Amino acid sequence: METPNSLTILFSRSTCIFIAMMCLLSHGTQGETVALDGNNFNNIIATHELVFVNFYADWCRFSQILAPVFADAAKKVKEVYPEVGKVAFGKVDCDKEGGVATTYHISKYPTLKLFRNGQVVKKEYRGQRSAEALAEYIKKQLEDTIQQHDNMDQIDEMQDKKRNMIGYFSDKETDSYKTFRRVAMQLREDCVFHAVIGAPSEGERGGSEAKLVFRPPNTRREDIQYVGETHNFDFMVQWMQERCVPLVREITFENAEELTEEGLPFLILFHKVEDTAILQKYTDAVQRELLSEKSSMNFLTADGSKFSHPLHHLGKTANDLPVLAIDSFRHMYLFPHDIHEGLETQGLLKQFVSDLHSGKLHREFHHGPDPTKVPALPNKEEIKGDHIPHEENAEKVEQPTSPPESSFVKLAPSENRYTILRHRDEL
Quick one: pLDDT at residue 220? 61
Quick one: pLDDT at residue 426? 29
Give me the residues paired with residue 111 across strands: 55
CA dihedral 420, 424, 426, 427 (to 10 degrees): 100
Quick one: pLDDT at residue 232? 94
**Quick one: average pLDDT of 113-135?**
89
- Alpha-carbon span 199 to 176, nearest angstrom: 16
- Alpha-carbon span 66 to 61, nearest angstrom: 9
Q: How confident is the model over 269-325, as pLDDT tens digits?
A: 999 999 999 999 999 999 999 988 887 789 999 999 999 989 998 999 999 999 999
Rg (C-alpha) for the chain, rounded Å, is 27
Q: Residues, the chain, total?
A: 427
Write the DSSP assignment of 248-313 as a string of letters: EEE--TTTHHHHHHT---EEEEEE-TT-HHHHHHHHHHHHHH-GGGTTT-EEEEEETTT-HHHHHH
Q: How confident is the model over 208-249, as pLDDT tens digits?
A: 999 999 998 876 668 999 999 999 999 999 899 888 988 899
pTM check: above 0.75: no
| DSSP 8-state code for residue 331 | B
Task: Assess contact for 289 and 349: CB atoms under 8 A.
Answer: yes
Q: Give 159's pLDDT tier (boundaries 50, 70, 90).
A: low
Q: Residue 33 contacts by C-beta under 8 Å, 6 or more apart in sequence?
A: 54, 70, 71, 74, 89, 90, 91
Helix (H, G, I), strand (E, B) or coil at 203: helix
Domains defined for the chain, CATH in brackets: 6-141 (3.40.30.10), 146-244 (3.40.30.10), 248-367 (3.40.30.10)
